Structure 1
Amino acid sequence: MKYFAVFSPMLDEEKSRLYRPDHLEFLKEQSEKNRVFAKGRFADGAGGLVIYQAKTYADVEQIVKRDPYVVNGARGFEIHEWEMIQG
């Protein structure tokens, strides 16, 4: 399994507030499927970050494109493969 960091820059604060419950439910579902390693929003309001676990970039892209934030234009997204270093 690989890790992919997904930066979700803020596009529309009002839509972000409106679709937050749907986004959080979506992340909960992804977490229950062991697809989410870590998640959180930036304190300065710039957006958020989710680190997904998946086999390929394409797998993560398919997931992210179903996120209610992305579907409804509240947030954009950038996907970067992340190589975690331990120790």
Structure 2
Amino acid sequence: MNYYAVLLPMKDEEKSKQFRPQHLAFLKQMREEKKILMNGRFTDGAGGLVIYAANSLDEAKSYLKKDPYIVEGARDFEIHEWAMETDVKFDF
């Protein structure tokens, strides 16, 4: 399993407000399916960060492209494979 850090910078604030409930529901479902490790918004309003768990970059992008924020043009995205290092053990 690989991890992919996705930055979601603000593109359209009004669309972000409009599609926030759908985006949050998407994130919750993806966490339940163990496809997202963690996510959160930036407190300065600049956007957010999602850490996807996937077997490949293409698989991570396929998840990301289902996010209502991306589908509806509310946010841009930047994706990077992330070599996570931690002593914390996650139950995935």
What TM-score, normalized by structure 1, do the two folds share?
Answer: 0.96
Cα RMSD between the aligned structures? 0.8
Aligned equivalents of 1:32 and 1:85: distance in 2?
22
| Other-structure match for 2:16 | 16
| Other-structure match for 2:62 | 62
Aligned equivalents of 1:73 and 1:31: distance in 2?
22
Report the residue type matching 1:20 in the other structure.
R
| Other-structure match for 1:31 | 31
Q: Which runs of 5+ in 2 are unaligned?
A: 88-92
Name the % identity: 54
Q: Which runs of 4+ in 1 moved over 6 A?
A: none
Report the residue type matching 2:61 in the other structure.
E
What TM-score, normalized by structure 2, do the two folds share?
Answer: 0.91
Contact 2:31 2:38 in 1 (8 A): no
Contact 2:8 2:48 in 1 (8 A): yes
Work out the number of aligned pairs and report it.
87
Residue 50, structure 1, aligned to residue 50, structure 2: yes
Q: Which runs of 5+ in 1 are unaligned?
A: none
SS in 1 for 2:69: helix
